[in-house]
Amino acid sequence: MKQITIFTFLLFFTVGIVSAKDIKITVFPSDAKIYVDGSYKADGIYTASLKKKDEFIVIKIEKAGYVTSETKFFYNDKRKSVSYTLKEDESLNNSILSANANQDFTVNVNPKYDAESAWKMINQVVLTYFDEIKTADRVSGYLQTNWIYQRFPDSRIQVRTRITVKEIAVNQGLAYKVKVSSEIANINTNVEEGFSPWGRIIKTYDGFISEIQSRLGGL
């Protein structure tokens, strides 16, 4: 009877071993982090174990500056190893972290420029970065561009940018409030509420603040 019990135990133990499956996971870049079923496992290479009772494991790969990859690996998959190569995050490659994003900057106009000259200069600088201006009211000193949208399909996001200029009253003379608005949303969002401020600026528009400060305030 004892021998039968031992045999039964060994049989189940052997079946357990046979039913387990190891899968080698290799990722690029080699320092990307590997997560299995939500738990961090290793950087670059990891061997995961699947049991027959499990239908699949969820493999997530992530690294700053790259698009996160998440996939399921099923037990009945015949492969013994898999490799994943992360795509660079184009939204980060095409933008820059900037303290200028979504901030109001006061630009004091050099006294040598009258209001008409300053207004013309503002329009010239804006049109260097944008193809057209949505609103330009010389009397109130208000200017605003349309939103310019850029989509990044791999990152599943969209970014929009616009410039706003407002004349303000200051004791020392003519001045303007200048703002580069930069907002981000899911790529499928088409409602205003879906966008939120982004602490980065698309590289195309990053030089706007410094240029208008230099042009209006220059000697």
What does the pLDDT look like over 115-129, one tens digit per residue? 999 999 999 999 999
Instruction: Flag whether the pTM goes above 0.85.
Output: no
Domains and CATH numbers, the chain: 2-88 (2.60.40), 93-217 (3.30.530)
Angle (CA) 100-150-99 rounded to 5° is: 10
Q: Could you give the CA distance from residue 176 to residue 166 in angstroms, rounded to a whole number?
A: 5
The answer to whether residue 7 scores a pLDDT higher than 50 is no
Show Cβ contacts of residue 117 under 8 Å, excluding neighbours closer than 6 positions: none
Q: Is 145 exposed, middle or buried (CB count within 10 Å of its CB: 0-12, 13-18, 19+)?
A: buried
The answer to whether residue 206 scores a pLDDT higher than 70 is yes
Over range 162-175, report the average pLDDT. 89
Q: What is the pLDDT of residue 11?
A: 47
pLDDT-derived band at 169 (thresholds 50, 70, 90) equals confident
Tens of pLDDT, residues 56-92: 999 999 999 899 999 999 998 999 999 999 999 999 9
Q: What is the pLDDT of residue 192?
A: 86
Over range 1-5, report the average pLDDT. 51
Q: What is the pLDDT of residue 3?
A: 53
User: Hunting for tokens 């013994």 — which residue is that?
Assistant: 80
Percent of the chain with pLDDT over 90: 75
